[in-house]
Structures are given as structure tokens and as C-alpha cells.
Structure 1
Amino acid sequence: MTETAPATRARIRFDTRTLLTLAAIGAAAGVVVIPTAWAAQVLWAAIPVLYGLAVVPYVLPGVIAQAVVPQPGSALITGLVAGLISIPFVGGVGPLTLFVFVAVLQELPSLVTAWRFRGIGMALVTALVLSAAYAAYWAVTLNAEAFAGWVRITAIALLVVTILLSTLLGLAIAAGLRRAGIRPRR
């Protein structure tokens, strides 16, 4: 009779330095989203077609985190910290749920490919996945049917462009952070 070793799963480990890096990125995003969350309410009431511009601070932390710390869960940890930081200042958990929603969508393409692919190509694929999901979220939660067709099309196009540009900006910020020496230990 032969014995087989129990199946072991690879554990994802974050050292303290990495967790502090992700927390710093998340804290910065949480502070940035405070005025943005309030401005988004005004923007929605005044010019709803421009509402997609308010997504920038929700997209940036996950992109930066995944580029600086290319490990599973980095966007999720950063999004969670960002959302928790913003709760006391925005009057609810709305930003927290949005940060986590965006972070999960940012992790999804990497999860599907088992974190084998990184770089600008994967970041842009992730941005397109996020754009499609966020457009569906926007259509359902913000009652898109109440608007004229051109408003919906323009708003979704602006949302997609904003998410793609936010992704490129996040990659540029991450490159600057890496040049400054902020990177995980090898």
C-alpha cells in the first residue's frame, strides 16, 4: 500500500513591506475619492453624460497596485483599504462597494489566466472588461433608460475612454513608483 502526500495549495503571501505599499496606494486613493464622490453627485445631477469621469479614482489604485505588486489580490487589498479610508467622509459605504467591485473586476482577467500574463496588454484587456461591467452597472443602477439614446451612447463611450486613459495613467504612475524604488522583494 502506497501513501500519497496530501494535496497542498500554493498560498499567496504578502510580506509587511508589500502590505504597507498596497495600503499606502489605497490610502492615497481613499483620500482622493472623498472630494470626487461629492463632485460626482453634483455632476450626475447637472450633466449626467459626464458621470463616467468620476470613475478615475476608483480605477487608478488597482492598476497601480497590480503593476507595482504583481501578485494575486493586490488590487483587492488596495481597493479595500481605499474604500475603508473614504467611509467616514462620504456618508456611507458607497465608495467601499465601488472600490471592491472595480478591484474584483481588475483581478478577474488575471485570475482567468492564472496570473501568467502581465504588462500593458493585460492591463488594457482588464480595462475593457471593467468598462463592459461598469457600463452594465451604470445602466442598471442609474436608470439609463430614462435618458435619450445619444446620452447613453455618449456616456458609455466616455466611460470606456476614461477607464482606458485611467489605466494608462495608472501604469505611468506605477512605472514612476518602480523607478523610485518601490517594488516587492524578490
Structure 2
Amino acid sequence: MNNDDERLALYVNDRLEGTQRQRMQDAIADDPELAREVELLRMVKQGWQQDQEAPPMELGLARLKRDIQQEQSLPEAPSPRNRGQRFWRGLALAACLVVAIQASLVVFTGSDDTQWELLSGSPEPDAPRLQVVFTPDTTIAQLQALLQPHAAHIVEGPGALGIYTLRLPGDSDAVSIRDQLLESALVEEANLP
């Protein structure tokens, strides 16, 4: 803080006396920018004094203490929120019990996987498969006409890269069918998986 700033702060706080005070008043009267700075400092001082009159921490602490005392003096009544929590807690326990009973039934009844079947039918475990990429403009009718002579069925696809997986009959020669499909203008690529 330089000497002029210090004198200005002393003037705003009414600490200058005599000739120093008179010189500062003359300088303020001659310089409008200095007058604005004095006004700004007075506003800051006034705001500071208002903040000092009622510190918010003391008021907040007193309010907190009062609220705690009021809560401790009230008889505890079940709130609607507590009743709701008890309801959901009971419902969750019932759901866990149902899951535990179902799990024990599955484990202890000795169920085997032979009774389960895919909705699409039983898969042929040894059936040969081909992975094929068709041209983008291939229609379903063209696809059916191409696959029907080979008795091939689409079992997966198209994937993200446009790859279809075909299942062939169990006794078919996958290599010769692949070569025949590659001769078609509708097939871009065909591979054995």
C-alpha cells in the first residue's frame, strides 16, 4: 500500500486531522476519479460494518441448538417415511424368501438339462456350418432361391460385418457347397468357421 492509498484509507475512516484532512478534501474536490474512489471505499466500509454487527455463524449455531432441543423434547411418532421404509423392507425380505425357495427347488429336485429344448428346435451338433457375406442388394427371394438347393438354413446373422451363419444338413459336403456359393454373384465371401 503506497502513501496516497494509506492517506485515503485514513480519510475514509475519519482518522486524518487538520491540514492533512483539508489537503485530502481539496484533492477530492479537484479530482472526480478520486471522489469516486472515496465513495467506493465508504460503501465497502459500510458493508463491512453491517457484516460485523450480526455474525452469521453465531445466529446459525443458536438456531441449530434451538432446533436440536425442540426435536429432543418432542415424543417420537412414526413418520410416513418410516412406515414406507418398513413396508419396502418387508417386501424385499418376502422377495428374497421366494427366490431362496425357487433356488432350493431347482437344486434339490434333481432337474437335468435333458428336459430343456431350444425354441428354435434341437440343434444338430455335428451339422456343418458356413459363414457367408451376401451382396448388400440381395433380396430375401434371391437368398431363399440360392440356399434351397443345398437345404441350408440361416441360423445367425447378419452380424455387424454383414456375416450370416448357415447350417447345412449333417451329411452334406461343406467345402463343395462353399465353392458353389462363391460362384454366385450374390455371395461376396464364404468360409468354413
TM-score calculated relative to the size of structure 2:
0.17
Query: Relative contact order: is structure 1 or structure 2 higher (C-alpha 8 Å, sep ≥ 6)?
Result: 1
Structure showing the higher strand proportion among its residues = 2
TM-score calculated relative to the size of structure 1:
0.18
Q: Which has the larger radius of gyration?
A: 2
